[in-house]
Structure 1
């Protein structure tokens, strides 16, 4: 099978003047090399395509593939993760991972939480601050947690994100509104253990790949998986395999959310426990990082004896299964 690879290479954007923070979600060359190597080992032929700009040029030139392995995050707007899949849908080229609707929904953390709540699944109470005047209407009890609505990789999350007073909430919201030019999600802060759950498959075939606890070390910014904690995870964070009752409850919730949201093929869901030890949905990453060494999903798989090639194989198997089962999937 001829597989096209779509991705956003960090170096491509840095060379065009974008900052490290703006490109924090984008991939390094070794990620693309790792995927390429795994797909080749599985018997596929690969072709590097690149980002949405390069995909447009390739499609206009008449290049086509049996399937596209898509990890392109996009750069601008709340629908940026949906752009490449939408282009591929227009040309009827099948691809891995979720469709444009799911990717647009899940990138918007507030919109996603509305759906999760409507599914009857627990998620922290929340509100959205779209402009400074909205702060007067926040009625949630403190402590609260504030973060940009449509960012990933911990962007906009810092030690100041957990707030105890209206003054601190106003300060962080005004800062985020100014820096990121997008709404701010304000939700009840959960003080319990933090887990991330790996998932593979689609619909009734979806399954957990395991659960990993994120433990913050002494050097970490307290209370959250912040941008700096993720960037310097070797010194600030410890990842622990989790197979206890709390982990099993987290996996059950993650699987229900994954199926309810319509996510496909593979990804991660973050779960946190409340003050009473009950799990709550925090957010989902349907385009989880898959760097062979440093990505959370890959680390989690390694803890559960799932090799990198096995993970890539599971993603391809899921995509083929759903495509064989229904032309609409």
Structure 2
């Protein structure tokens, strides 16, 4: 197959004047090199496309691919992760990972939690603060609470001050999120217990949990939180431990798969969970477009610790996408009208 590769390079946006934090979700050239090599090792040809502007230019020039391996996060808007998949769907081109609805829904942490809670999975109570006009304190169980941007990833907007223990700090933190990230803040009951992330591969009934990873902050890390800085410098600040507790892994996997399926995630993803003071696990958030650097990103780290090499992970993702794309009725109209199109 000829597989196109869509992505956002950090250096491209840094050259445009964006900061390292603003580009935190984007990829290094090294990640793209590893990914291209893994796709080739799976027996496919690779065409590097780039970001959404590059994709538009390619499509306008008549380029087409059998499948697009999409890891583009997008830059603008709360539906930014959905933009390339939406464009590919308009052209009838199959792609890896979740569709526009799931990507937009998952990036809005409050909407994602509402869907997950409706599916029966536990998640902390929360409110959304979209302006500083509010007068009441959050209708939760009291302080401490956890305050973070509504629609960010990679720990952006999260540091030790995200754990808020009083009214004045609460208002100050909400104002900081609103002004700095120009989006609402989501305020959750703070869970002080252990933190885990669950890796999932597959789609729908074929989705399976491939491991549960505990995130342990080292003494030199920012305390209490898996923050942007801790993620950026995870090699020095974080220890990742593959969980072997069968009961905990079973519970974590059940919650993660419930969340993953209820949100309609596809091919692969990662679900973050945390324990309360009694050790009970709850859904925190989901990443349906997980990072894929082999030694820096949580999903490949988790898979490697559980015996799934990087090339195998990428091959499994492609296999899942192909399997669901050849289901009866999938893009049949477009494919029937484009059988003789020139694929570049």
Shorter-chain TM range is: over 0.9
* Superposition misfits of 4+ residues, deviation over 6 angstroms: none
CA RMSD, Structure 1 to Structure 2 (Å): 1.1
Partner of 2:270: 268
Instruction: Report deviation, 1:139.
Output: 1.8
Gaps of 5+ in 2: 332-344
Other-structure match for 1:101: 101
2:290 to 288, 291, 294: 288
Give the alignment of 1:34-49 within 5 angstroms. 34-49=34-49
Mapped to 1, the partners of 2:137 and 2:145 lie a distance apart of 14
Deviation at 1:235, TM superposition (A): 2.1
| 8 A Cα contact 2:116 2:258, kept in partner | no
Query: Scaled by the length of structure 2, what TM-score is found?
Result: 0.94
**Residues 202-245 of structure 1 deviation map (CA, whole Å, 9 limit, x = unaligned):** 00000011010001111111211011111111222111010212
Unaligned 5+ residue runs, structure 1? Answer: none
Q: 1:254 to 1:135 in 2, by over 3 A?
A: farther
Alignment of 1:194-209 (within 5 A): 194-209=195-210
Tell me which residue corresponds to 1:56: 56
- Map Cα deviations across residues 266-325 of structure 1 (whole Å, 9 max, x no partner): 010001111121110000000000012211101100100100000001101100111122
Q: Which residue pairs with 1:156 in the alignment?
A: 157
Matches within 5 A, 1:156-235: 156-235=157-236
The equivalent residue for 2:255 is: 253
**Deviations 1:105-130 (CA, angstroms, capped at 9, x unpaired):** 00000111111111121000000000
Contact kept, 8 Å, 2:234 with 2:296, in 1: the verdict is no
Cα deviation for residue 326 of structure 1 reads 4.2
Aligned-partner SS, 2:26: coil
Distance 1:50 1:135, change over 3 A: farther
Measured in 1, the distance between the counterparts of 2:144 and 2:19 equals 32
Asked if 1:8 corresponds to 2:34, the answer is: no
CA drift at 1:24: 0.7
Instruction: Go from structure 1 to structure 2 and tell me whether the alpha carbon gap of 1:12 and 1:119 turns closer, same or farther (over 3 Å shift).
Output: same
Distance 2:253 2:305 in 1: 15
Range moving further from structure 2, 192-201 or 240-249: 240-249
